[in-house]
Structure 1
Amino acid sequence: MPKQSDKFSTPKNAHLMESEREIRFELPFEMDFENLSYIGVVLHETWGVNEHHHEHFELCYVESGQGWFTINDSLYTVSKGDLFLTKPGESHQGAASGELPFRLYYLGFNLEQMRSLEIEYYRIGFNRVEKDENHFIKYLFDSIVDEVRMKRQLSKMMVEGMFIQLLVTIVRIYNADNKGHTEGRKLATVIIDILNYLHSDIRADHNVADLSQRFHISRSHLAREFKQHMGVNIGVYIRSLCLDKAKHLLRETNESVCAIAETLNFTSIHTFSIFFKRHTGTPPVEYRKQNICSKVVK
């Protein structure tokens, strides 16, 4: 691992935690850019962060080493070149693991002024680990950090341009298999609140009636607004979240099918199995076997 002085000096506007060997820039760095909240670089092997949540998106990029993250108790392992994304309201934590040198970039941002991107990010599914195949995300991270550190002429404009490039590239990476896109309008506050709530507690028994009561909005208005903003009705969205998380738990954990059904608040393992087979064409146990086999083959 390079020494701290090899690449980074500490500008006046940076907060450097020497005991943790972490550099973090709180933004705007004497500039007027509201969407990018902070950017940081972890420079040590024993990094870890306790469970927490926040009201903005956060992207992590593993430059070297191995580690893990969780979202609401679902485990994700990460290694060199991996991206990991959390959405507002999602409880998450993470740490380095193994003996390899560990280096992590992280970025906090909101999308309140970027209408189309805000919807695209909320549509990203439960599979949150993707690979930066061509190292373009690393290049953009390095370039942004360098601009923040050096504060060159017109740095604000340069950072804004690279930041937007980074945001769009991330969406394309996560949605590589998704041909569709939506140039949506700005999400209403109540829709953002509902999305944050649904993602923070993914479960099969969410329904329009309970949500309308919790968020003080009529059922018809909620159904209409959600469909207009997100392009699908709220019931379909809830089912997609459950299916996405079920697939992840079956692939990446040893939890029993019964335990997964309970985690997602299905009334029984039978109900869960019917749900899963209806939407995938494969029973949960068979889906797990097929995915374990495919991993072994790779």
Structure 2
Amino acid sequence: MLHERKRFHFDNLYFLNPKQYEFFTLYQIGDLCCDSGYQLREHTQVCYEISYVMSGKGWFSTDGTRSDVEAGDVYINIPGEAHAGGADAKEPFRYFYLGFLFNLQPENGYRENVESPFIHIQKMMDKRETPLAKDRLDMQHTFLSALREFRSLSHYSQVMTQTYLNQLIVLMYRNFFSDWDSAYHAEPGDGATGGIVYDAISYIDTHMLTMKDLAEVSRELGYSYSYLSHLFTEETGISLRNFYSQKRLQKIIELMKSRTCSITEIASTMQYQSIHSFSRAFKKAVGLSPTEYIRLYVKDERDQA
């Protein structure tokens, strides 16, 4: 006999009064733990949704196509889809979820807008090939931090929740879509648009720690910076500068997690003029200072090891 009981359900619903953030509008965030056999009846999505499986096994479906899921899986839905889910017949099931709409919607067009950096993420979600991916970037920790903040609202909670929700959306994007640069299939050096972009990616990967600026890439490849930047955006959907910034941030976090370099040494390695300029740039990108990030994330990983 199948059980249909929720063990606990922490649900923040904002459909009647959505919470406005800078780049998206929040409709729902929560944590559901249910007994084996529990089923979530099919419904039509009215917003984008990110689901993260915390423990157990279960399933989600999109437009009738079912996917089995387990701890560490990430599942995404987009507006208009028919979505359902449930727990395994033998195991309890716990998952986190986040429902939102991007503030720049498709009817406005996918135009370049420096004020709306999530527009590329929206575009990629809309054309994703699969709704399921494995988490490689510790979304669990960020979800827990966000849910903790919603449970105990206090001074600066709006700032903290925006930081955590921004991170969740970006981490989802990276889990699903950011491998395109390493899986790029164009032949390098063939002179075609794809080859030029591949050469630019390869140069950045190889010279990350020695590059002075992006103009160096265009000089080495023999093209003007404006031409190379235009080709890169047309081919990948993301600007060359944003790609470079993402790769630098990935390297910085990699160095932090290695625990072999001090913050000052990381700033020097990444060619920042001072520890202060490094700290400002890192906080602008992540929402936390380098010291806060290490204390919250790197320390936690060391404790769990």
Give TM-score scaled by structure 1 length: 0.50
Select the structure with the greater relative contact order (CA < 8 A; seq sep ≥ 6): 1
Give TM-score scaled by structure 2 length: 0.49
